[in-house]
Amino acid sequence: MLSTIWSVHFVSILTASGYATVVAVGIGTLIGPAQVAARLLEMMGRGRHHPLWTMLFSALAVLAGSSSVFLQRSP
């Protein structure tokens, strides 16, 4: 659910941070391919990892990404 909320508001967060709309939309288009890559990595694990560990890693990755957006200076 966190990633859904993030992807819905991502472009407006970037434009509020000072990015041009074209750049924000361009960066936003990377969300889909990133989700596909994450699913492929998860399938490569062949179920060896417990779902709670997968969820924890996923939440930490979203936290790291969102922190990098919020903590950087405007372009």
**pLDDT tens track for 9-44:** 888 888 888 889 999 899 888 888 888 888 888 888
pLDDT at residue number 65: 82
- Kindly report the pTM of this predicted structure: 0.63
Nearest C-alpha neighbor of 7 from the set 22, 26, 23, 29 = 29
Give the pLDDT score at 17: 82
Cβ atoms of 38 and 60 within 8 Å: the answer is no
Question: Which pLDDT score is estimated for 74?
Answer: 59
Count Cα atoms within 13 angstroms, Cβ side, for 42: 14
Give pLDDT, residue 22.
93
pLDDT of residue 73: 64
